[in-house]
Structure 1
Amino acid sequence: MNKRTKKTILWTVSIIIAGILGYGTYYVSSIYSGLEGLQKKGESSPFKELAQVDAKAPEPPKWEGTEPVNILLMGVDARGFEEGEIPRSDSILVASIDPVQKKMNLFSILRDTYTDIPGHSKNRINTAITHGPNTAMKAVGDLLGIPIQYYVYTDFQGFMKLVDAVGGVEFYVEKDMKYSSKADKNEYDIDLKQGMQHLDGNKALQYARFRYDKMGDFTRTERQRELIKAVAKKMQSTTSIMKLPDILNSVSPYIDTNMDVNDMWKLANVGYQSKMKGSEQVPPMKLLVEANIGGAAVLTVRNPDTLKQYIQDILNPPVTETDADGSKDSTGEPTDKSSDSSSSSQRN
């Protein structure tokens, strides 16, 4: 090989390396910028009108990175609301992640659950966000008996943009779903057919919103959990990771959170390594009591302490006899006793 050929190869390799480094720098900077845009401050915050009211609620606890972390996910229907107005939560979920055991649990909270709203007496849990995110986190944390460190807030548009940005999801729709509303000028009509199919953002929203059957909100929350799991799994794929800058750019205008970029980096790393262990409705049916308070139909909790223990039993399953020798946990999965001993219980 002559010197000219060697020089040509060297220059070619150098250009390729420079291109890779350049793209890597662009990719990282784009992700950082996209993550930074998710947290809205000052006049950009959707809760700017509630700043003084929400300031009276306790600040959420700080996550140090090794203890379990709980994230309140709130979806609202903002149709017909003016800028600065905060609608009640249409969907309320809590993602609980244990970074030591690398497991995740998803809870969906029935929006008509009647509970204490700190500083605002008792009401449905879906009203908590109308007083600000700190109030909502405290209300949900008190109900479940666990600390809520973070929140993520979005509306219909944000959810559709996210699903479209990851390329949609393959999902089984368990039955025909149809609903029409002239009040919305038919913009959010629901028309889905039973079967395995590709759901884009619009169809995914239809599936998540449908509650026009005998069990109403009970089955709707179950569908929402399954759909969220499918979207989360899609986001963990290599393709979605490569598209992350574009995904963030698409959803950023519709999302608000109290996480800073460092929090998001840590959570992304923990979430990517964690496996979904289960998803549950809260409160469970056995603890629900239907009631009429002030002329409104609500769901009360039969025993608040029993509900908190129910959550603890899911997050920290009781040790069984087969677990005593370190072979399996209560779910039948192999367990690492060193991890169990270092995992902290989730209590306020």
Structure 2
Amino acid sequence: MSLAASPIRFPDVSSRTVMTRRGWWLVLLNVLIPGSVQVLAGNRRLGRFGLGATLVLWFLAIVALVVWLAWPTVLYTILTTTAGLWAIAIVALFYAVLWVVLTLDTLRLVRLVKTSPGAGPGMAALSMVVLVALSGSAIYGAYVATSLSGFLSSVFVQSPPAPPDANGRYNILLLGGDSGPDRDGMRPDSMTVASIDATTGQAVMIGLPRDLEYVPFPEDSPLAAAYPEGYGAIDGCEVDVCLLNSIYTEVELKSPEMYPDAVARGSEPGIDAMIDAAEGVTGLEIQYFVLIDMQGFEQLIDALGGVDINVDTRLPIGGDEDNNNVDGWIEPGPQHLDGFHALWFGRARYGVAGGDYARMGRQRVLQEAVLRQFNPQNVLAKFQDVAAASADVVKTDIPQSALGYFVNLGMKTRELPIVHVELVPENGIDPAEPDWDYIHALVQQAVAPPATEDPAE
């Protein structure tokens, strides 16, 4: 059949049956292969452009799928860099506009008034539904990409990534800061070193009690010169108590000049001091930190839609050592906690809550629960709320250029059991008289266990 006789380009406009059948074909082709309608029945130049753009989009989708399956870090890097996100936004807006143009032109070519009375509205409705779905999704995708670019640029620093340590691990200091109205500045109440294998993602969580005394510092730390025998060991310190979590307050408020370039690197003098302290306590090289403001942690949990926790012990909300003036209770058993109750799950320490060491254990449980739910699907579904909460809650010196790598590593971590090392009396550690050699050996045994001999050899 010659092109001149084609009922698609040259239909019998007097036959409603022919025009209706042709109309449905055009509408479906526009849905399945945008641009093909114009090639067959309209402006061929527009059609070739639209069809070429469609083929390019399919090609990009296939490439993205292959890269995600074979080299996921590459795809995650594109999705976490400013240039990559803006490129995605521009491409998404381009296709949103193209689909509008092609769909409206398709409806013009259909000639709805020539189709059967009941068919025209159906063709128009289907075209509009698909148009809204495709173009709307593309526009929303462009919005998410540009918003994510701004969010990532505001939270993460622009610096080259650090290499893993001698054991092939990344060691990240996690600080939970509490800057309540009764505090003189912010004081870290939760301190954990997350040691993550740079290849497998296997993680060791090392819990640091806030009441450790005589904390040592690395030789190159400015605090080592001020406290050569450990923090507060000689003539005390510059604040009321000389405990691990007091180091932040002392340096931040009393001697920030010890770390003059901290702010320029995206850190703070107090945070740099806590990194030195964590290195002294664990014997590990700390590459990065993440500070979470506990005052805003509630917002982040709510943004994620709550968190699932298996509560072992009935926990008070508020109150004192004797459980007086308690505002409520978190009951034992599987619980879906909102931000307020999750914060108290990790914060309660009086009465039946079991004191600081029990609280440390619950904070580790809470961190793991949040890690399980902090996945790309959940974050994307609640993107606006999560981004708004995170911008006020999280401070870190992890470089934006390394995010793709750490996202991929984090996906591996979620699939593996986490090893816990708590530096508490139950594990033979006296916080008032710590044996640092024993602590360093305990940490090394967890992060670099000796290879077991093959019994067959």
Relative to the length of structure 2, the TM-score reads: 0.57
Is this contact kept in 2: 1:235–1:241, CA < 8 A? no
Decide which of 187, 199, 202 is 1:88's aligned counterpart. Answer: 187
Instruction: Note the alpha carbon deviations across 1:76-124, whole angstroms, 9 max, x for none.
Output: 2211168xx6322111112221121221121221100111355252031
- Measured after TM superposition, the shift of residue 224 of structure 1 is 0.7
User: Take 2:406 and 2:456, find their aligned partners in 1: how far apart are those partners?
Assistant: 31
The correspondence of residues 109-258 of structure 1 with structure 2, limited to 5 A, is 109-114=208-213, 115-116=215-216, 118=221, 119=223, 120-121=226-227, 122=231, 123-130=242-249, 131=251, 132-181=270-319, 189=327, 191-213=329-351, 215-236=354-375, 238-258=377-397
Decide which of 440, 447, 456 is 1:315's aligned counterpart. Answer: 447
Moved more, 66-75 or 125-134: 66-75
Instruction: Answer yes or no: is 1:31 the counterpart of 2:164.
Output: no
Q: Which has the higher strand share?
A: 1
User: Take 1:220 and 1:109, find their aligned partners in 2: how far apart are those partners?
Assistant: 12
| Pair 285,78 (structure 1): closer, same or farther in 2 beyond 3 Å | same
Decide which of 84, 94, 97 is 2:196's aligned counterpart. Answer: 97
- Measured after TM superposition, the shift of residue 179 of structure 1 is 4.9
Q: 1:110 is matched by which residue type in structure 2?
A: P
Is this contact kept in 2: 1:74–1:91, CA < 8 A? yes
| Pair 163,188 (structure 1): closer, same or farther in 2 beyond 3 Å | farther
Q: 1:226 is matched by which residue type in structure 2?
A: V
Name the SS of the counterpart of 2:245 in structure 1.
Answer: helix
Moved more, 169-178 or 232-241: 232-241
- Measured after TM superposition, the shift of residue 211 of structure 1 is 1.2
Match of 2:429 in 1: 288
- Measured after TM superposition, the shift of residue 35 of structure 1 is 2.0
Which structure ranks higher in relative contact order (CA pairs < 8 Å, sequence separation ≥ 6)?
A: 1
Instruction: Note the alpha carbon deviations across 1:234-282, whole angstroms, 9 max, x for none.
Output: 1126333443453122221232212232233322221122234322212
- Measured after TM superposition, the shift of residue 23 of structure 1 is 3.9
Match of 2:205 in 1: 106
User: Take 2:150 and 2:347, find their aligned partners in 1: how far apart are those partners?
Assistant: 31
Moved more, 211-220 or 11-20: 11-20
Q: Show structure 1 runs of 5+ residues with no match.
A: 42-59, 291-298, 326-348
Is this contact kept in 1: 2:216–2:277, CA < 8 A? yes
Q: 1:265 is matched by which residue type in structure 2?
A: G
| Pair 229,286 (structure 1): closer, same or farther in 2 beyond 3 Å | closer
| Pair 68,175 (structure 1): closer, same or farther in 2 beyond 3 Å | same
Q: Which has the higher helix share?
A: 2
| Pair 259,324 (structure 1): closer, same or farther in 2 beyond 3 Å | farther
The correspondence of residues 47-86 of structure 1 with structure 2, limited to 5 A, is 63-64=162-163, 67-80=168-181, 86=185
Instruction: Note the alpha carbon deviations across 1:17-67, whole angstroms, 9 max, x for none.
Output: 6555544443333222222222489xxxxxxxxxxxxxxxxxx99523694
Query: What RMSD over aligned residues (CA atoms) do the two structures have, in Å?
Result: 3.2
Is this contact kept in 1: 2:421–2:446, CA < 8 A? no
Instruction: Answer yes or no: is 1:265 the counterpart of 2:404.
Output: yes
Name the SS of the counterpart of 2:284 in structure 1.
Answer: coil
Moved more, 212-221 or 96-105: 212-221
User: Take 2:204 and 2:403, find their aligned partners in 1: how far apart are those partners?
Assistant: 18
User: Take 1:233 and 1:71, find their aligned partners in 2: how far apart are those partners?
Assistant: 18
User: Take 1:173 and 1:268, find their aligned partners in 2: how far apart are those partners?
Assistant: 29
Moved more, 136-145 or 64-73: 64-73
Q: Show structure 2 runs of 5+ residues with no match.
A: 1-6, 10-22, 35-98, 100-130, 232-241, 252-269
- Measured after TM superposition, the shift of residue 9 of structure 1 is 3.4
| Pair 190,8 (structure 1): closer, same or farther in 2 beyond 3 Å | same
User: Take 2:346 and 2:201, find their aligned partners in 1: how far apart are those partners?
Assistant: 27
> How many residues of Structure 1 are paired with residues of Structure 2 in the alignment?
293
Q: 2:394 is matched by which residue type in structure 1?
A: I
